[in-house]
Structure 1
């Protein structure tokens, strides 16, 4: 279990990485934010990159764990997709700085560390794809390319970190409803409803 100081350092790093970017944030910036000497900071962390890896790993792991729990339910594929969208958006919005660091800064990791995050991200895409394949198999969905469709849904959900305003007109849950309706019903009105 990380100590309070470890958590304080991680939270300070998230804030700095989100505000300044990973490359523009120095170890000294992090040390200053938590009231430590630079040398003392290394008692708690190995490197700035390890800190970024820890933040990104925790973020993508939370997304995966929530989606795995949704997949393990007896819900229909449609209900699972709606729940997956809602989970993704509410987690993203409630941890906006961490989500921003994951989606924008994780590319700054070295090859091996980045591969760890990429493997977990690929797993996440596979879980979304499984929902769509399940819906295809039981006749709920008509999806020609489940993986491409999963990537399209995720792309839309991920972009929320750039434009969502917590004080805006819609809550994360309401945005999730808009997204779910769009992906499940599309844009075209049913023939029977057209004038």
Structure 2
């Protein structure tokens, strides 16, 4: 799925990326504190460190910022799942590595993930399907990892089993952020990854790769 086009009048792509990252960081903190509707674009600009005029060189509406948050999460998950997996595709090791990398992204971006789900209701009727489709694309990344293991004979799963397990992995990753107030009292992120991976592999009838 291609990204939703967020218009910018600036043509320097590296500068656009830099400014939008600053914008997202400032907006996430404000959305967490005040909510989407009570936060103004002027406040976002100030938190990002530039003027309201500069802000409108990189976005057109406040809603654009939520699109950018969604895209940033998706891009980080995609990039992380591609790391080190190229030569390990279709193995239980690749599945374990993919799970760990995804959980680390959820740990690093937990504020963005929480804001996306809290404020997605603020998106327009046309915008919501875009966000939900992005989520399904992230789930599909795990379907691909699982299907690779099935094709290599490392797992025996039906298509429906692949789909439900992919959703399980996705939700377990999100749970680290949604339930962090409780989980962080019990586990480090590494302990959480290890335990969740062991539970998953046990359910698959497989020992967790070391």
TM score, norm. by length of structure 1 = 0.78
| Residue-by-residue CA offset, 1:165-189 (whole Å, 9 max, x unaligned) | 696443212211111001001399x
Could you tell me how far apart the structure 2 residues matched to 1:34 and 1:75 are?
Answer: 40
State which of 147, 158, 173 in structure 1 corresponds to 2:174: 158
Name the residue aligned to 1:193.
none
Could you tell me how far apart the structure 1 residues matched to 2:169 and 2:24 are?
Answer: 30
- For structure 2, the residue ranges without an aligned partner over 5 or more in a row are 1-13
Residues 30 and 178 (structure 1 numbering): CA distance in 2 closer, same or farther, change over 3 Å?
A: same
TM score, norm. by length of structure 2 = 0.73
Could you tell me how far apart the structure 2 residues matched to 1:140 and 1:168 are?
Answer: 35
Could you tell me how far apart the structure 1 residues matched to 2:91 and 2:204 are?
Answer: 20
Q: Report the Cα offset of residue 46 of structure 1.
A: 1.2
Name the residue aligned to 1:2.
15
Could you tell me how far apart the structure 2 residues matched to 1:139 and 1:36 are?
Answer: 55
SS at match of 2:102: helix
State which of 26, 33, 56 in structure 2 corresponds to 1:42: 56
- Tell me if the contact between 1:93 and 1:164 (Cα under 8 Å) persists in the aligned partners: no
Say which structure, 1 or 2, has more relative contact order (CA 8 Å, 6+ apart).
1
Could you tell me how far apart the structure 2 residues matched to 1:20 and 1:34 are?
Answer: 16
State which of 45, 48, 53 in structure 1 corresponds to 2:67: 53
| Residue-by-residue CA offset, 1:132-160 (whole Å, 9 max, x unaligned) | 22222333223342111111221121121
- Residue 177 of structure 2 is aligned to residue 184 of structure 1: no
Moved more, 50-59 or 31-40: 31-40
Name the residue aligned to 1:67.
81
Residues 147 and 22 (structure 1 numbering): CA distance in 2 closer, same or farther, change over 3 Å?
A: same
- For structure 1, the residue ranges without an aligned partner over 5 or more in a row are 191-195
| Residue-by-residue CA offset, 1:13-68 (whole Å, 9 max, x unaligned) | 01122333323433343245346665664344311101111121111111122223
- Tell me if the contact between 1:13 and 1:51 (Cα under 8 Å) persists in the aligned partners: yes
